[in-house]
């Protein structure tokens, strides 16, 4: 899974570099307009992800990574299990052994 996340992050970084290059020196039409549209849409989606999952993030660097990589960065974060879930699993194991 880590390999796919790493490849996805590399492709996302490549995409943002292409969008940045298009801003500095626009490509031929219609590619320039399509890249502006795709970049703006993806940035809006990542801002929505940041608003939804912002409580899970610790610092500013993680927030920037969500803006760049989106859900790929969130998948790479360790899962935090609620305390009640661990207790329920222990109770289920006790019942199944009886």
State the pLDDT at residue 97.
Answer: 59
Residues 6+ apart with CB under 8 A from 78: none
Instruction: Render pLDDT for 41-53 as a digit per residue (tens, 0 to 9).
Output: 999 999 998 888 8
Whose tokens are 């999952």? That residue is 53
Percentage helix, strand, coil for the chain under 3-state DSSP, each rounded to 5: 80, 0, 20
Higher-pLDDT residue of 90 and 37 is 37
pTM strictly above 0.85? no
Q: Which domain holds residue 60?
A: 2-97
Report residue 55: phi and psi, to 5°. -70, -25
Higher-pLDDT residue of 82 and 45 is 45
Q: Residue 36's pLDDT band (boundaries 50, 70, 90)? A: very high
Average pLDDT for residues 56-67, to the nearest whole number? 82
**Is the pLDDT reported for residue 85 higher than 60?**
no
Question: Based on the structure, what is the number of domains in the chain?
Answer: 1
Per-residue buried b or exposed e for 27-63, using 16+ beta carbons within 10 Å of the residue's own CB: eeeeeeeebeeebeebeeebeebbeebeeebeeeebe
Whose tokens are 């849409």? That residue is 41
Average pLDDT for residues 71-80, to the nearest whole number? 73
Q: Is the CB of residue 38 less than 8 Å from the CB of residue 62? A: no
């Amino acid at each position: 899974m880590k390999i796919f996340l790493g490849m996805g992050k590399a492709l996302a970084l490549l995409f943002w570099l292409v969008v940045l290059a298009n801003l500095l020196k626009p490509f031929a039409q219609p590619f320039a307009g399509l890249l502006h549209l795709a970049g703006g849409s993806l940035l809006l989606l990542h801002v929505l992800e940041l608003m939804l999952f912002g409580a899970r993030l610790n610092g500013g660097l993680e927030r920037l990574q969500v803006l760049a990589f989106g859900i790929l960065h969130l998948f790479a974060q360790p899962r935090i299990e609620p305390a009640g879930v661990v207790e329920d699993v222990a109770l289920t194991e006790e019942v199944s052994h009886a």
